[in-house]
Amino acid sequence: MSTAELDLLIRTRRDLHRHPELGFQEHRTAAIVAERLRAAGYEVKTGVAETGVVGTLRGAGAGPTLLLRADMDALPIEEECAHDFASTHAGVMHACGHDAHVAIGLAVAERLARTRGEWGGTVRYVFQPAEEGGGGALRMVEEGVLDGVDAALGLHVWLGMESGVVGVVPGPFMASAGTFEITLRGRGGHGALPHETIDAVLVGSQVVVALQSIVSRNVSPLESAVVSVGTFRAGGAQNVIADTARLTGTVRAFDVDACAELPRRIERVVAGVCSALGAEYGFGYVQDTPPTINDPALAEAVRLAAEEAVGAERVRTDPDVRTMASEDFGEFLLRVPGCYFFVGARNEARGAVHPHHSPRFDVCEDALPVAVDVLERAARRVLGGR
């Protein structure tokens, strides 16, 4: 990468880092993206899914339509990093690396524009709002960004791997995420007269324990799933038996069938416990994101691109690269073949060790030019030559 290109890449990332914006509020970010894409020769559409930007560029010959995606949103976190480009917006921080994704995306978009005489097909560069729980990907799908798309590629800078290492795995790559809410209704009463009550704390406790059997006894040992109870609220006084309890939690899975089956299993466990103890229940479930599942042929294209860019010894394809974290790029991959991959950004010497969503999160910036190289090469492989 030339010094000028690297300088622009890092400056862009730091500028975005200083000015983080929450989901569907990425106005400044979107304006920067739209201006740079227009200047590079893209046909630009703004206001897609509120603050999203889509740039389209045709190559020199026939070929597929390739969607490339960068997410733009920050998180409601107060930054604790000491570097001189820390957030200037109180309570908002790029704590997942989406600032890097936008900077990388613009660099790749500009490279593809400079080389448009050498590749065929069409690039649709999607800068997406609200990845962090806002459903931005699905909104963009509903507004037609996948129309005519043959393949999709995206990446995440990743603190789970050393800076500059690339991780790409065919098949399931990141898990689905769903949220459940269980309300339990017993019969409250005096803490000294339990025989006259149905204790919602006891019912809730039995539910928490019984839910552990789903992953250990219903899910195949060869599959991966998580059922975690995150909150358990009940009672208001030490000498009163609680009338109601409310539990919420998260469900993760790699498999589309498991995603559909897990909420049914959870409800069956809750119903069984309540029936045994004489309590009533309410059950709600929201599927937040589908699993992110990579197409084998496109994962292979990314692997080859990564080997060219960084050498085979810095490309990981083992299953440990995968994570039960979720990512709404899965919405695209549910509908078109594609590949999502990680570019390691961990660097102990530079203090880039804190996990995603930590107030001290930072990325090793050496990962950014690597990500640009790999994504551009992967895109060129998919688009084909003239």
Which range, of 89-97, 110-118, 250-258, 269-277, touches Zn ion by CB under 5 A? 89-97
Judged by CB under 5 A, which stretch of 77-85, 92-100, 247-255, 274-282 contacts Zn ion?
92-100
The nearest distance, CB 31 to Zn ion, in angstroms, is 22
Q: Is 131 a catalytic residue?
A: yes
Q: Does 77 bind Zn ion (CB under 5 A)?
A: no
Q: Which of residues 178-197 bind Zn ion (CB under 5 A)?
A: none
CB nearer Zn ion, residue 144 or residue 355: 355
Token look-up 């990388």 returns 104
Cβ closest to Zn ion, residue 130 vs residue 247: 130
96 sits near Zn ion (criterion: CB under 5 A): yes
Closest to Zn ion by CB, 103 vs 113, is 103
For residue 73, indicate whether it is catalytic: yes
Minimum CB distance to Zn ion smaller for 96 or for 166:
96
Cα separation, 138 vs 159, in Å, equals 26
Helix 367-383 and helix 3-18, axial crossing angle in degrees, nearest 10 = 110
Give the distance from CA 103 to its chain's centroid: 17
**Catalytic residue selected from 131, 132, 362, 373:** 131
**Residue 259 is which amino acid?**
C
Residue nearest to Zn ion (CB): 96
Q: How far apart are CA 43 and CA 50, in angstroms?
A: 18
Distance between CA 372 and CA 106 in Å, rounded? Answer: 9
Among candidate residues 181, 204, 323, 183, the one with its CA nearest the CA of residue 252: 323
Helix (H) or strand (E) holding 232: strand 225-234
At its nearest, how many Å lie between Zn ion and the CB of residue 149?
A: 22
**CA 191 – CA 199 distance, rounded (Å):** 10
Measured between alpha carbons, how far is 38 from 28 in angstroms, rounded to an integer? 16
Counts of helices then strands in the chain (DSSP H, E) = 9, 16
CA distances to 26, 101, 193, 358 from 16, in Å: 10, 10, 61, 18
- Whole-number CA gyration radius for the chain: 23
Residue 93 interacts with Zn ion (CB under 5 A): yes or no? no
For Zn ion, the closer CB: 157 or 374 = 157
Of 98 and 303, CB closest to Zn ion: 98
The one catalytic residue in 50, 71, 73, 199 is 73
* Binding track, positions 331-350, relative to Zn ion; x by CB under 5 A: --------------------
**44-52, 93-101, 119-127, 306-314 -> range binding Zn ion (CB under 5 A):** 93-101
Shortest distance (Å) from residue 48 CB to Zn ion: 19
From the CB of 157, what's the least distance to Zn ion, in Å? 9
- CA torsion 143→145→146→148, rounded to 10°? 110
Least distance in Å: CB of 332 to Zn ion? 14
Q: How far apart are CA 265 and CA 253, in angstroms?
A: 13
Provide the annotated active-site residues: 73, 131
Binding residues for Zn ion (CB under 5 A): 96
